[in-house]
Structures are given as C-alpha cells and as structure tokens.
Amino acid sequence: MSVETQKETLGFQTEVKQLLHLMIHSLYSNKEIFLRELISNASDAVDKLRFEALAKPELLEGGSELKIRVSFDKDAKTVTLEDNGIGMSREETIAHLGTIAKSGTADFLKNLSGDQKKDSSLIGQFGVGFYSAFIVADKVEVFTRRAGLAAGEGVHWASKGEGEFEIATVEKAERGTRIVLHLKSGEEEFADGWRLRNVIKKYSDHIGLPIELPKEFHGEEKDKPAEPEWEVVNRASALWTRPRTEVTDEQYQEFYKHVSHDYDNPLSWSHNKVEGKLEYTSLLYVPGRAPFDLYQREAPRGLKLYVQRVFIMDQADEFLPLYLRFIKGVVDSNDLSLNVSREILQKDPVIDSMKSALTKRVLDMLEKLAKNEPEQYKTFWKNFGQVLKEGPAEDFANKEKIAGLLRFASTAEGEGEQVVSLGDYVSRLKEGQDKIYFLTGESYAQVKNSPHLEVFRKKGIEVLLLTDRIDEWLMSYLTEFDGKSFIDVARGDLDLGSLDSEEDKKAQEEVAKSKEGLVERLKTALGEQVAEVRVSHRLTDSPAILAIGEQDLGLQMRQILEASGQKVPDSKPIFEFNPSHPLIEKLDAEPDEDRFGDLSHILFDQAALAAGDSLKDPAAYVQRLNKLLVELSA
C-alpha cells in the first residue's frame, strides 16, 4: 500500500455516533442487508459518473466498462466491495462518511427511545446505508478517489465505529471506491462466495450494471489462476426496462428499497410503458410510511430521472405536483436530451405532458388501493393524508379525483377514525338532502360535542368532522363534490333546505318574531362583541352558540395565521340563542338590566369556549361567574 500523507483523526458528528451505537449493538435482525445498502450506494456512484461523463468524457479515464465487484478473504475475514464510479475527494469523504447531511436529523434523534425494536424502525425510515456496514464489521476501511483527480489524491478512511475516524491521502491508480469490511467475530459466514452470491441475487438482482464475484475454483490449488476470474451474478438490466410479466413482487419491493433507501416494503406500485406521441417508462411507488421531512415543502424530493437508460438526476421534482411529493420511483424518457438540466425541465412542454399523465397514474393507483385494499389505504391515509389535502388547492384539473381519495371522521362512524370518503357520505344522503355538511375544530372531542351538531343529531343528518389544521384551508378550495355543495354548519344562517318541513319553517318564523324584544336587549348588552344576535334553529340542548359570518375566517385559519405572525382581519361572531332553553327563558324574564348584562356575557363566553376559542377577558368571565354563584348560594 502507498505511503499515507496528511493523516488526521477526526470525530464523527454527534448524530452519527448515536447511529453507530445502534448499528453496532445489532439493531437489525436481518444482518445481510448491509450488502444491499453498500451495493445500492455503489450503483448510485456509477450512475453519477455516467451523468458527469456526458459533459466531461475524460472522467471515464479510458475505462468505460462500469461495474461493481464483491470479493472476500476467508483467512483475513474480510469482505471487499469495489466500484469504478464517481469516487470521492478528501472533503467529500469527510462530509459523506462523517456527518448526516439530511433534513429531519433533529426530529429523528428526538424520536430515538432506546427501545431497539422501535429504533430499528426509525433508522429504516431515516435511511443510513453506509453505516449498516458496522452491523457485521468491527472495522471499516474506505479507499476512494474522485474521477478527474490525480492518482496521488486518493483517500484512505478508516474507523472502528467508536466515535472517530482516521483519514489520510494515499496513491490510488483507479477512480472509484473500495470498501473493506473487517468482519466481527461470529460474522465469518459472509466471507463465503455462496453466501454473498445468494444475498446479491436476493436483494440486488435489479441493479442495472454488472455485479461481479470471483469464480469458484474447484481444481488443485497449484492450478489456481494467479488473478481471479470474475463472473456476473445479477441480471444487470434495469428493472423498469423489463416486461411486467418477468418481474416478481419481491423484485419490485427490493427495487423500491434501492431507489428510496427505505427498509420497509412499499404499499403499492405502478409500472407502465407509454408509447406514441411521447415515449417513456415509469415505475412509481407509494411508500409504507412517511419520512421525517415530509412536511418540509422545500426538502429534496422527486423521481430518479433517466434518459434512454442513462441516469440524469436523483430528485427530479418537475414530474409530480408538490402534494404528491411522497411518491418514489423512476421515470425513463426517450424524448429528452441527455444534457437536460433542471432549468430545461422547468420549460420543456414535454415535461408538462408527462407530469399530467404521471399525476393521473398516481391518483389511479391510490384509487385502486382504496377500493381493493382498504386496510392498506388506511395506513396510507394515516401517513400521507394531510399532504394529499394540499391537492385541491394545487391541482384544479384533478380536484374531483383528489376529493374522492380524502377521508374524514363523521358523526356516523366510530371514535375519531378518519375513514369516511365523500363517496360514502353521498351514498348515505337523506331524502331531499343536496348538501354535504361539515364542521371544523381543533380536536375530535371538541367537534363531536359541539352544540352546532344538535339539530343534525335530532334529524339524523350526517356531518363530517374535520380536525386537521389544514382542513379549513382545504374546504375553501373544495366547494363541491358530485354536484353537492359543502356547507360549514358553524357558518352563516343555517338553511337545511327541504330537510326542514314547511311546518318547521313556519314555527321558526313565529318564534323569531316573538323574541324580537330579547334580541334587541342582547344586542344592547353584548354591544361591540357581536356582529348580530338572532334566534337559533341549530340548537336543541344548549342555550347559545357563536356562528361565523359567511365571509369571515374560521377559528382554525385565524389561529394558523396568528401563529405565523400574520395580521388577521377583524371579525365578530354571530350570537345565536335557543329560545326554549330554561336559561334563555330566565334571561328573558330578568328585569334587572345589570344582571341581564352579566348573564348575557356569561352565555357569550361559554359559547366561545364551546367553539374552542379563548376568552378575550377571562378575568371578567370568572368575576361574573363568581358573582352569580354567590347570589345563588345566598
């Protein structure tokens, strides 16, 4: 080995130390996946070289036959994996092998609990391929040189996974990366050709470049060739280029793990070849769980882009809208040029056509999942439902299709479960019902007990209960479904249309007329706090509620805007009272205007609390309530 220069010892980033601790303590029951992860990384390195060599052919350094080689030494108890891909410079080696430059790191670490089973799942979600080497090795060495650098600028990185690593400059004639795993005691099974061959066939058969192992030698030792002869052990053809009938479910699942760096199987996938005006192949996956950075809209996302099977970019986000940012997979186009850039992708009309088609493909896949595997769809909804709710605002063309995929809690279903589709709701409409009723709120407990639902319970009308922070914003874009308009039951003057009989309407008018005097007294007492006072047709059990004006922001939107520091336009609620409630009857009969005022304010504040709002003057509310309690106990 060449003489090492510029040798130094550096400490791992804190996050890496924690990961290594988990890895070294045998987090994975399935240890063989270390090879899958290292081969996947090597494949990515070769893809990157292919792409950079389009503009700079000299990076190939005369060697255009790209491959991965896996070898072993039983006596030395080592496994070596070598690729002739892009390689790394000294700075890149420190950055890639000493730190985790991934958004969501803090969230990830916060969720580590010390429970090995749970933490294993989290690590899979985070995706940390290289460090899986320490599952089976007590020392890992990396020899690498970036394509284009001089042979004297090779790098030797070594670590025992104990909080620090050594790095030195060495001579390395060939570009690319060689990783040497010094196996732990008890892990010698991996220094075996048959074992490595089986692992590669099982996990990496889909890799689209040759993975070579030394040929087994069965003759006399003296006849053994001086140099090993290599043989390809995988199919070495990109999986998405094969006919669907030739690809097994297991191969699709392993390919997903390769493109997504996830450790779990996907929920669903769609593999399609399009021919005609446009020619491209897509293989799209719905993951089984959400990554940590799902809600960071600026986080890296997108599909792997290939042009005529040549890798172009890792996260091409122009092919799917932002609300489908969780989709993983590849798209391989015959219509784009090999020197395509992100700027060109943003302007190319071909991309718009592909984006439209791929979006519909994903929505069709989700529809199929919801119809054929409702339990799997529940898992999908739990993980990605809030992101899908961004869709109606972003994708007008597919608004109805997205709406059909949404799920909500409802007064007709069990505790808090978001399982009701809009199609389910419409199928259960009462005779004469032409509206879809909903109520938004901060929590399921708050909305299910809301006074706004009282008349709906009495008449047996189903109401959707919306409790996600995004829901009120969503409903401002989702105005109808299947020809039925949406009605917020806490907004405006409730009109049940033909669900109210003529007798009901006539009775309501008569009651409202008889309570005109009380309405005026309440307006005077509540003054500037209310926009309007009126008799309520929504209430059966509660004395009063606050309704929102037709054009006003709801409580959810107000709280979101206030939390983000934005100025919220002033608006006042509408105070509605139940004329048949004993408290209202007592209030109506109260001759003392000061006491009437105190009772009116108490009812107003209680209605605000029932709506999930905070009181403007809690001390005044407590003072009035205490005064009333003293009077009652006197």
**Number of residues that this document lists for the chain:** 634
The stretch 94-104 carries a mean pLDDT of: 65
pLDDT of residue 462: 93
How far apart, in Å, are the Cα atoms of 17 and each of 373, 493, 541? Answer: 41, 60, 60
CA atoms of 70 and 197, how far apart (whole Å): 9
Q: Which helix (H) or strand (E) holds 329?
A: strand 328-333
CA atoms of 18 and 493, how far apart (whole Å): 58
Domain 407-490 sits in CATH 3.90.1150.10? no
- The C-alpha torsion from 36 through 19 and 119 to 470, rounded to 10°, is -90
Instruction: List pLDDT tens digits, range 439-464.
Output: 988 888 888 888 889 888 888 889 99
CA atoms of 480 and 403, how far apart (whole Å): 9
Cβ(307)–Cβ(338) under 8 Å? yes
CA atoms of 430 and 487, how far apart (whole Å): 15
Domain 499-633 CATH class label: mainly alpha
Name residues whose C-beta falls within 8 Å of residue 306's C-beta, 6 or more positions apart in sequence.
238, 312, 330, 331, 332, 333
Terminal Cα distance for the chain, rounded: 98
CA atoms of 192 and 189, how far apart (whole Å): 6
CA atoms within 13 A on the CB side of 427: 7
**Residue 217 corresponds to which tokens in the numbers above?**
């030698």
How far apart, in Å, are the Cα atoms of 282 and each of 46, 242, 274, 330, 402? Answer: 21, 12, 8, 6, 21
pLDDT of residue 221: 59
Angle at CA 291, nearest 5°, toward 289 and 296? 135
pLDDT band at 80 (very low <50, low <70, confident <90, very high): very high
How far apart, in Å, are the Cα atoms of 208 and each of 36, 160, 257, 533? Answer: 14, 32, 15, 71
3-class secondary structure per residue, 190-238: HCCHHHHHHHHHHHCCCCCCCEEEECCCCCCHHHCCCCCCEEECCCCCC
The stretch 342-370 carries a mean pLDDT of: 88
Instruction: List pLDDT tens digits, range 396-443.
Output: 999 999 999 999 999 987 667 888 999 999 999 988 888 999 998 888
How far apart, in Å, are the Cα atoms of 233 and each of 159, 197, 496? Answer: 30, 7, 69
Residue 249: how many other CB atoms lie within 10 Å: 9
pLDDT of residue 72: 95
Instruction: List pLDDT tens digits, range 506-532.
Output: 878 888 888 888 889 888 888 888 888
CA atoms of 468 and 470, how far apart (whole Å): 5
Per DSSP, the chain holds a count of helices (H) and strands (E) of 22, 22
User: What is the CATH architecture assignment of 5-237?
Assistant: 2-Layer Sandwich (3.30)
3-class secondary structure per residue, 35-50: HHHHHHHHHHHHHHHH
Q: Tell me the percentage of the chain whose pLDDT exceeds 90.
A: 39
pLDDT of residue 335: 83
pLDDT of residue 22: 65
pLDDT of residue 146: 96
Adjacent-strand bridge partners of 171: none
CA atoms of 537 and 531, how far apart (whole Å): 18
Cβ(240)–Cβ(283) under 8 Å? yes
Most confident option among 377-386, 553-562, 563-572: 377-386
Which tops the pLDDT comparison, 271 or 555?
A: 271
Instruction: List pLDDT tens digits, range 284-319.
Output: 999 998 877 777 767 778 898 888 877 788 788 889
Adjacent-strand bridge partners of 182: 78, 139
Cβ(327)–Cβ(284) under 8 Å? yes
How far apart, in Å, are the Cα atoms of 458 and each of 49, 62, 379, 499? Answer: 69, 81, 34, 12
Least Cα distance to 384 among 460, 310, 272, 290 occurs for 290
Which tops the pLDDT comparison, 294 or 581?
A: 581
pLDDT at 243 over 60: yes
Most confident option among 99-103, 331-335, 375-379, 574-578: 375-379
CA atoms of 607 and 346, how far apart (whole Å): 51
Longest Cα–Cα distance in the chain: 117
Q: Which helix (H) or strand (E) holds 139?
A: strand 137-145
Mean pLDDT of the chain: 85
pLDDT at 480 over 80: yes
CA atoms of 162 and 349, how far apart (whole Å): 52
The stretch 194-210 carries a mean pLDDT of: 89
Which tops the pLDDT comparison, 527 or 99?
A: 527
User: What is the CATH architecture assignment of 240-382?
Assistant: 2-Layer Sandwich (3.30)
pLDDT of residue 224: 66
Domain ranges of the chain: 5-237, 240-382, 407-490, 499-633
CA atoms of 448 and 410, how far apart (whole Å): 9
pLDDT at 112 over 70: no
Amino acid at 95: A
Angle at CA 82, nearest 5°, toward 60 and 49? 30
The pTM is what?
A: 0.75
Burial of 465 (0-12, 13-18, 19+ CB in 10 A): buried
Q: What are phi and psi of 606, to 5 degrees?
A: -65, -40
pLDDT at 121 over 60: no
CA atoms of 5 and 170, how far apart (whole Å): 7
* Strand-strand pairing, 268-274 and 280-286: antiparallel
Instruction: List pLDDT tens digits, range 213-235.
Output: 998 766 565 566 677 899 999 98
pLDDT band at 63 (very low <50, low <70, confident <90, very high): confident
